[in-house]
Amino acid sequence: QVQLVESGGGLVQPGGSLRLSCVASGLIFRFFNMGWYRQAPGKERELVATILRSGRTNYTDSVKGRFTISRDNAKNAMYLQMNSLTPEDTALYYCYLDSPLRYWGQGTPVTVSS
């Protein structure tokens, strides 16, 4: 059974940083492409960042230069380092994995507020 478990969300002040983690189980992690989505209240789910099994990354324009996606295949883990956070980054953040069947984590909330 494939499971993705996110952690690391929380409340942070504008300009602060958070590091989200997504740990996968039930499959050979390194073979698959992964990424992060987010969904803010009242908005559609938005693709934030992707990381291919090759390590190639891509970001939505609003987070370029502030967020960094990475993966550690030995730990079956993916990360999203988020810096210079703004209130517009407030959302529920989900990790996903394409096997190619898409699996989702349960989401971790990020709130950016003073």
Provide the pLDDT for residue 28: 78
Provide the pLDDT for residue 43: 95
Provide the pLDDT for residue 27: 82
Provide the pLDDT for residue 13: 98
Alpha-carbon span 72 to 55, nearest angstrom:
10
Listed in order, strand segments (DSSP E) in the chain are 3-7, 10-12, 18-25, 33-39, 46-51, 57-59, 67-72, 77-82, 91-98, 102-104, 108-112
Residue 1: pLDDT band (50, 70, 90) is: confident
Provide the pLDDT for residue 29: 79
Q: pLDDT tens digits for 48-102?
A: 999 999 999 999 999 999 999 999 999 999 999 999 999 999 999 999 999 879 9
Alpha-carbon span 4 to 95, nearest angstrom:
7
Q: pLDDT tens digits for 4-60?
A: 999 999 999 999 999 999 999 988 778 899 999 999 999 999 999 999 999 999 999
**Which residues fall within 8 angstroms of residue 60, CB to CB, at 6 or more apart?**
46, 47, 48, 49
